[in-house]
Amino acid sequence: DTAVSQTPKYLVTQMGNDKSIKCEQNLGHDTMYWYKQDSKKFLKIMFSYNNKELIINETVPNRFSPKSPDKAHLNLHINSLELGDSAVYFCASSQGASVNQETQYFGPGTRLLVL
């Protein structure tokens, strides 16, 4: 059973397009996250979200927006894609919101290439 799943696994698209990446967790966790891993392998948090609070990394452009239809899903919508958005995007989840102590469970990643 896949704990944290993402779709699609690969996404190739043109500049200017709008795309969404879906994430689902079946762990019953309260908090979900989106990370971006760039070509240098730095993994940076973009958003964290639980049923009470959305926390946004202020460095993330507002073209990126998380959408959560329910506690088990946190989708990432990206408007007007740019070349610099090419990266691997990871979804993760944790039981609670105290991230300094929480174990995060990561999905397999979505490899986005913007042409």
- Find the Cα–Cα–Cα–Cα dihedral 73, 35, 62, 31, rounded to 10°: 40
Count the site residues for other proteins by CB under 8 A: 27
Residue window 31-50: x/- pattern of binding to other proteins, with contact defined by CB under 8 A: ----x----xxxxxx--x--
Q: Which of residues 93-112 bind other proteins (CB under 8 A)?
A: 98-101, 103-109
| Cβ distance to other proteins smaller for residue 45 or 74 | 45
* 8 Å CB contact between 88 and 109: yes
Q: Interface with other proteins includes 4 (CB under 8 A)?
A: yes
Question: How far apart (Å, rounded) are the C-alpha atoms in residues 86 and 26?
Answer: 28
- Per the DSSP assignment, residues forming a β-bridge with 37 are 43, 88
As a residue count, the chain comes to 115
Min dist. Cβ of residue 105 to other proteins (A): 7
Is residue 90 a contact residue for other proteins (CB under 8 A)? yes
